[in-house]
């Protein structure tokens, strides 16, 4: 296979030290800041050295099999990934998740730059594995795992995708006001927001919400909630779950429609009643959000696109 005809996009991120230098201008100022706070600056240096070594090895190895384009995480949302490219991501799980949602099914190789530091649920490989993994992936000889994504679509045509979860609610610590419709049920609500989780995200924020709910309910909780709390649900599942955070019952708001399973036939619909502080963001990235203010209608369902993770 001619390497010049193949394309690989290598997604990387800045290290903690690089972020500090960008904010404080120099390494010495970063050192002073960290040590003044009582932290170990050598840990920042070691993390950066390990990460840079992993990126260098990955880039060198990938160049043996294809033309390589290196891409910083900040450019991922606006980058047009070639339809036939292979994507390699060096970083934490969050970087893999946030790359997947801007793809159209291109296969992703997750590379753990520092296994002693990061668990890497989405990072099954190290840089040294690429010499074997890449040609097999290019030839279609590696197994892949499909990841179901969520999609929110507003009535003005805007869309946003999520690999882990959506947050729909207030920008600040005030109550979200909206109407919620799920199937034949419909009610006005006031809460601290709604979380919609995919299978991939079901062991994250979603699990923490269920853990709290089960703790409050005690032995009265359902078997379904207990199963979801313990093990989540499969990444490939063609369904999502939503849960309402801290619903408040009052004369004008209800709190009975607080949990449900979304599938292709049963989307979740929300109509905002928040004047100017409603937002929708995905995968914990608050800066990449849609405004969700009064009169806007959001339909949350399963995305047509799916993620593909090389195993």
Residue-wise pLDDT for 161-212, tens only, equals 999 999 999 998 899 999 999 999 999 999 999 999 999 999 999 999 999 8
Please write the tens of the pLDDT for every residue from 216-267: 877 766 788 888 988 899 999 999 999 999 999 999 999 999 999 999 999 9
Is 206:260 a contact under the CB 8 Å cutoff? no
pTM here is 0.89
Coil vs helix vs strand at 84: coil
Q: Is 67 exposed, middle or buried (0-12, 13-18, 19+ CB in 10 A)?
A: middle
DSSP states along 179-234: EEEETTEEEEEEESEEEEE-TGGGGTHHHHHHHHHHHHHGGGS-HHHHHHHHH---
Q: Which domains are seen in the chain, by residue range?
A: 3-142 (3.40.50.10330), 148-303 (2.60.200.30)
Is 168:283 a contact under the CB 8 Å cutoff? no
The yes-or-no verdict on residue 1 having pLDDT over 50 is no
Is 127:57 a contact under the CB 8 Å cutoff? yes
Give residue 48's Cα distance to chain centre: 23
Give residue 3's Cα distance to chain centre: 31
Is 77:71 a contact under the CB 8 Å cutoff? no
């Amino acid at each position: 296979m001619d390497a010049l005809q193949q394309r690989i996009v290598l997604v990387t991120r800045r290290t903690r030290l690089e972020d500090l230098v960008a904010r404080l201008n120099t390494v010495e100022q970063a050192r002073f800041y960290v040590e003044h706070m009582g932290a170990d600056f050598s840990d920042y240096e070691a993390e950066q050295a390990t990460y840079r070594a992993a990126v260098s090895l990955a880039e060198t190895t990938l160049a043996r099999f294809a033309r390589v384009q290196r891409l910083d995480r900040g450019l991922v949302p606006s980058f047009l990934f070639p339809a036939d490219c292979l994507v390699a991501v060096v970083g934490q799980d969050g970087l893999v998740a946030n790359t997947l949602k801007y793809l159209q099914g291109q296969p992703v190789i997750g590379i753990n730059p520092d296994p002693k530091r990061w668990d890497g649920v989405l990072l099954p490989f190290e840089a040294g594995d690429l010499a074997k993994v890449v040609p097999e992936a290019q030839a279609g000889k590696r197994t892949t795992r499909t990841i179901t994504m969520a999609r929110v679509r507003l009535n003005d045509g805007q869309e946003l995708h999520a690999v882990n979860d959506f947050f729909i609610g207030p920008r600040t610590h005030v109550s979200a006001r909206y109407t919620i419709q799920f199937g034949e049920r419909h009610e006005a609500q006031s809460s601290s927001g709604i979380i919609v989780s995919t299978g991939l995200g079901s062991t994250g924020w979603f699990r923490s919400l269920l853990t709290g709910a089960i703790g409050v309910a005690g032995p009265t909780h359902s078997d379904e909630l207990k199963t979801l709390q313990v093990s989540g649900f499969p990444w490939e599942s063609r369904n999502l779950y939503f849960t309402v955070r801290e619903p408040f019952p009052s004369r004008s708001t209800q709190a009975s429609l607080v949990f449900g399973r979304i599938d292709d036939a049963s989307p979740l619909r929300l109509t905002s009643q928040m004047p100017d502080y409603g937002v929708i963001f995905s995968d914990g990235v608050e800066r990449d959000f849609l405004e969700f203010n009064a009169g806007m209608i959001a339909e949350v369902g399963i995305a047509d696109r799916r993620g593909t993770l090389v195993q």
